[in-house]
Amino acid sequence: MKRILVATDLSARSDRALRRALTIAHESASTLEVIHVIDDAWPGAEIERQDQCARSVIADELRQAGAETKPSTTIVRGQPFVEIVKRATETGVDLIVLGIHRGKGREMFRGTTAERVIRLGHTPVLVVTTPVTHGYGRVLVGYDFSIHSKRALEFAALWLPAAEFHIVHATHVPFKGFLGPQTQNEIADDEESKAAGRLEEDLTALKNRFGARCPQFHVSIEEGAPLAVIGTHAKKVRPDLIVIGTYGRSGLSHLVLGSIAEELIADATIDILAVKA
């Protein structure tokens, strides 16, 4: 982790994102940039007033946070999601940090700055929902063997080598309603065995690449809907962070991030790291 970009809309929702970004920057010795976007539809005089106000508010928040890392501040004009993605691309940041969106549920989440930044950009995005009291010591990763979930696990493991990782994979029994109990169990056992073998291969490859810096992995494989399985394990292990791979298929509506990622982020009560391959 070398460069971090945190976006603020100057609301209370952004406070936690700024404080988390400051913490990460300090722990990883990364450079940090704070960006605020002013709607360019305002008249010039109003834009100038908002620019000065934004700089003042950000400076006050940094003082209150007792920032040990001194970030730079960038104020730009335009649409927030466009300018955030553009700035992240131009400066080659490793992580974008955003505050939680207003409201809960997928309908409220769609079209938000966070949803668009995750969908349209290629930089990992951390959506911060919880107060900053400690670092990320326990991480839950939803894993489906896709290139996106592999990239998400790799990024998180490289970033947080000292954390305890809980990797969750949900298996599926096809045509379950038409099968007898014994057949269901046999297929479920077979699917679990296959998944365990593939996961062992992926984790061994990761351990070989990272060596001593590789985190400790705990693996859980269960039959069921992915969202339900992730939710059940989140209640069990109480992670500080949930990591998910995202598809980011632009041009679609309800599948823009993949339904699992979208649902998790939309109703997040835990910080979420969304990573796209």
Reading the chain (277 residues) residue by residue, the pLDDT tens digits are 899 999 999 887 788 999 999 999 999 999 999 999 998 888 888 989 999 999 999 999 998 887 776 899 999 999 999 999 999 999 999 999 999 765 565 566 767 888 889 888 899 999 999 999 999 999 999 999 989 999 999 999 999 999 999 999 988 755 555 556 665 666 567 778 898 999 999 999 999 999 999 999 999 998 888 888 899 999 999 999 999 998 754 443 333 445 677 778 777 789 999 998 7
Neighbours of 244 (CB within 10 A): 27
Closest by CA to 275, choosing from 154, 182, 167, 188, is 154
The structure tokens listed for 6 are: 């945190």
Closest by CA to 33, choosing from 66, 76, 64, is 76
Q: What is the pLDDT of residue 186?
A: 65
Cα gap 110→104, rounded to integer Å: 10
Q: What is the pLDDT of residue 64?
A: 87
Closest by CA to 270, choosing from 158, 130, 89, is 130
Q: What is the pLDDT of residue 254?
A: 37
Whether the full predicted model's pTM is greater than 0.85, yes or no, is yes
Q: What is the pLDDT of residue 141?
A: 96
Q: What is the pLDDT of residue 253?
A: 38
Cα gap 84→81, rounded to integer Å: 5
